[in-house]
């Protein structure tokens, strides 16, 4: 007996079958479904999934998420002060794209991790005919903090459609009734505009820091005939939080679905509960139409927490090595332990730009 694609209703056979990741595998997603045809899978992969991955790519790389295919890529940044290029590599932190850059006829800038690394760079310059070079104040260690803008966004219309796609597929993957969610397909495909997906930042983070935590993705669906609602809450990297209004005319059983996985690919929870009394409560969509000042403070707290994790992970490759220069109050020779790295992060963290979805924006009009 053949299965039909949940998007185009085409019968799925051997020649067009595929494996669809509910959360993109480039973000570490492991939950899969098989009722999406190859054509729809490829179309979403190059459009919605790609846009969603772009939104969270730096975090996925810093945490070196589990990927079913391929490796996490490198990302190149430009220092806003010096113009020097830096590269973020999974598990290797952020380092200068080139260890040696020429400033003038007899002057070079050298980035190095330790004295041995510096000696190698000086030796390389010597082989180029530059003898008796000595480091000056323009030389700095690889742990120097480049001035890189980290832009946090809750997402644009395309990325919110990708979030709706996650909710839609998860509900069906756990045995949900297609009739209650089929109206989402035109929205997911981009043929219709609707107020279905909203950033969800009504509560401050439950964890003050993420660097000692097992970071997760989670999807939770709650529904009941009393509220006539079917609502999905999604959290990616415990930072990008959304609420999806799947249905306002739900008359099925009290429903509670939950999926939690860590970013290394381990499923921590898969729950299916029906007839669970008291799990569903009515949620007003109007509460999410406008971003209040309180919401901005909450979003900033998530943004700052993520930025601290980002900087901490870029320091990780240098743990148990001595600082080769004075740095943020720590003298040269200080052993860069995990505790010292945390203090460095707390001293150096800065406010960062963030973008909140504006529902009056032309992106949401058709």
Beta strands in the chain, from DSSP E residues, in sequence order:
3-4, 11-12, 20-21, 32-33, 75-78, 85-89, 93-96, 100-104, 107-112, 140-141, 152-153, 197-199, 216-224, 229-236, 240-247, 255-262, 267-274, 354-355
Q: What is the mean pLDDT of residues 152-172?
A: 94
Q: Is residue 251 part of a domain?
A: no
Res. 280: pLDDT tops 80: no
Res. 150: pLDDT tops 90: no
Q: Is residue 40 part of a domain?
A: no
Q: Which of 63-77, 123-137, 274-288, 339-353 has the lowest mean pLDDT?
A: 123-137
Who wins on pLDDT, 350 or 160?
Answer: 160
**What is the C-alpha separation between 125 and 67, in angstroms, rounded?**
39
In tens, the pLDDT along 328-366 reads 888 989 999 999 999 988 888 754 445 555 444 444 443
In tens, the pLDDT along 246-268 reads 999 999 889 999 999 999 999 99
In tens, the pLDDT along 83-135 reads 778 888 777 777 777 777 666 666 767 776 667 777 777 777 776 666 556 65
pLDDT, position 364: 42
pLDDT, position 363: 41
Contact, 188 vs 51, CB < 8 A?
Answer: no
pLDDT, position 365: 42
Tally of domains within the chain: 1
Exposed e or buried b per residue across 207-225, where buried means at least 16 C-beta atoms within 10 angstroms of its C-beta: eeebbeeebbbbbbbbbbe
Q: How many CB atoms neighbour CB 43 within 10 A?
A: 16
Instruction: Name the residue among 46, 45, 33 with its Cα closest to residue 5.
Output: 33
Distances from the Cα of 15 to the Cαs of 39, 40, 69, 151, 167, in angstroms?
11, 14, 21, 42, 27
Q: Is residue 337 part of a domain?
A: yes
HEC sequence for 84-143:
CEEEEECCCEEEECCCEEEEECCEEEEEECCHHHHHHHHHHHHHCCCCCCCCCCCCEECC
Q: Is residue 70 part of a domain?
A: no
Q: Is residue 338 part of a domain?
A: yes
Structural domain of 345: 293-364
């Amino acid at each position: 007996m053949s299965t039909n694609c949940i998007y185009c209703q085409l019968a799925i056979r051997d020649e067009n079958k595929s494996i669809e990741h509910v959360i993109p595998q480039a973000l570490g997603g492991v939950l899969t479904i098989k009722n999406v045809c190859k054509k729809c899978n490829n179309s979403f992969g190059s459009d919605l999934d790609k846009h969603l991955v772009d939104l969270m790519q730096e975090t996925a790389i810093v945490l070196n998420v589990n990927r079913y295919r391929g490796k996490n890529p490198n990302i190149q940044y430009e220092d806003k002060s010096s113009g020097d290029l830096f590269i973020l590599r999974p598990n290797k932190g952020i380092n200068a794209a080139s260890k040696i850059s020429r400033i003038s006829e007899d002057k070079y800038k050298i980035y190095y991790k330790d004295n041995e690394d510096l000696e190698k760079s000086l030796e390389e310059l010597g082989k180029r005919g530059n003898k008796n070079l000595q480091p000056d104040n323009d030389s700095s260690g690889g742990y120097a903090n480049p001035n890189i803008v980290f832009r946090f966004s809750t997402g644009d219309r395309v990325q919110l459609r990708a979030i709706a796609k996650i909710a839609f597929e998860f509900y069906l993957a756990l045995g949900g009734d297609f009739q209650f969610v089929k109206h989402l397909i035109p929205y997911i495909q981009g043929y219709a505009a609707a107020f279905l997906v909203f950033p969800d930042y009504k509560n401050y983070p439950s964890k003050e820091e993420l660097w000692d935590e097992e970071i997760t993705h989670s999807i939770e669906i709650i529904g009941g005939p009393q509220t006539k609602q079917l609502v999905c809450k999604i959290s990616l990297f415990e930072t990008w939080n959304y609420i999806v209004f799947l249905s306002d005319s739900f008359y099925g059983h009290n429903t509670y679905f939950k999926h939690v996985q860590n970013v290394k690919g381990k499923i921590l929870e898969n729950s299916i509960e029906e007839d669970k009394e008291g799990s569903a409560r009515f949620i007003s969509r109007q509460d999410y139409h406008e971003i209040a000042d309180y919401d901005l403070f909450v979003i900033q707290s998530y943004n700052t927490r993520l930025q601290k994790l980002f900087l901490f992970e870029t320091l990780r490759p240098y743990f148990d090595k001595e600082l080769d220069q004075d740095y943020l109050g720590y003298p040269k020779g200080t052993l860069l332990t995990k505790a010292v790295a945390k203090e460095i992060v707390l001293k150096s963290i800065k406010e960062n730009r963030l973008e909140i979805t504006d529902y009056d924006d032309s992106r949401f009009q058709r």
